[in-house]
C-alpha cells in the first residue's frame, strides 16, 4: 500500500480531462469534473492499495461523475430562463388579442417581482405545484411559500390596476 503523491497529479491532468470529456460530452463540464475530482482527492491523504496513481484517479473521476449525476437527478429542475424570455402557450384563447395582451401583462408583472417571490409564484401558479411541492423544490418551508405567494399576488395585482399605470411600487 502506498499513498497518492499530490506532487504527481499534474502529470495526469490531460488523460483525466480526455476521460472526463468522454463521460460528459462537453468540454466545460469535463473541466469542472476534473477540478472537482482533484478537490476531492486532495482533501485528505489517499491510499492506493495496489493500484497505480492513474487507475486510482480514473476511478475517483468516475465516482465523482456518478455522484454528481445522482445528486442532479434528485434536485428539482428549475427554469433557467427569465420568465420574460419564455414563449406564451399558443391556444385558441391566446390568438384573441385581449387575452394574449392580458397574459403578456401578467407575465411582465411577474417578471418584475423580487426573485424569491417570482420563483414561488411561478412554481405554484404557473407550473402548478402544490405549496408543499414548491417548498421542497425551492428549499424552503411551506409557510414561507404561502407568505411569498400572498405577497407576490398582491404586488402583481397592484401592478395591473388600471389607475396605477405609469406609477411605481413604493
Q: What's the 3-state SS for 74-99? A: HCCCCCCCCHHHCCCCCCHHHHCHHH
Domain architecture of the chain: domains with CATH: 6-74 (1.10.1740), 83-164 (1.10.10.10)
Helices (H) and strands (E) in the chain, counts: 8, 0
Q: Is the dihedral of CA 13, 19, 23, 26 positive or negative?
A: positive
- Cell numbers for 20, please give them: 472526463
For residue 90, the model assigns a pLDDT of 55
User: In the numeric block, which cell numbers belong to residue 137?
Assistant: 423544490
- Asked whether 116 and 130 are in contact (CB, 8 A), the reply is no
- Look up cell 411541492; give the residue: 133
Q: What is the pLDDT of residues 17-53, one digit of tens each?
A: 888 887 777 888 889 999 998 888 888 777 766 667 7
Least confident among 16-20, 21-25, 60-64, 98-102: 98-102
Amino acid at each position: 500500500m502506498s499513498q497518492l503523491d499530490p506532487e504527481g497529479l499534474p502529470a495526469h491532468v490531460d488523460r483525466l480531462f480526455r476521460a472526463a470529456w468522454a463521460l460528459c460530452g462537453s468540454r466545460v463540464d469535463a473541466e469542472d469534473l476534473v477540478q472537482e475530482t482533484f478537490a476531492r482527492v486532495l482533501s485528505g491523504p489517499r491510499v492506493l492499495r495496489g493500484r497505480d496513481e492513474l487507475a486510482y484517479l480514473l476511478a475517483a473521476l468516475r465516482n465523482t461523475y456518478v455522484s454528481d449525476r445522482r445528486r442532479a437527478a434528485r434536485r428539482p429542475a428549475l427554469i433557467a430562463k427569465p420568465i420574460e424570455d419564455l414563449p406564451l402557450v399558443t391556444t385558441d384563447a391566446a390568438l384573441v388579442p385581449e387575452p394574449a395582451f392580458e397574459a403578456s401583462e401578467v407575465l411582465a408583472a411577474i417578471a418584475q417581482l423580487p426573485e424569491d417571490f417570482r420563483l414561488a409564484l411561478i412554481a405554484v401558479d404557473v407550473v402548478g405545484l402544490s405549496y408543499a411541492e414548491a417548498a421542497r423544490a425551492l428549499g424552503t418551508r411551506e409557510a414561507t411559500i404561502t407568505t411569498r405567494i400572498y405577497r407576490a399576488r398582491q404586488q402583481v395585482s397592484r401592478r395591473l390596476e388600471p389607475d396605477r399605470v405609469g406609477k411605481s411600487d413604493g
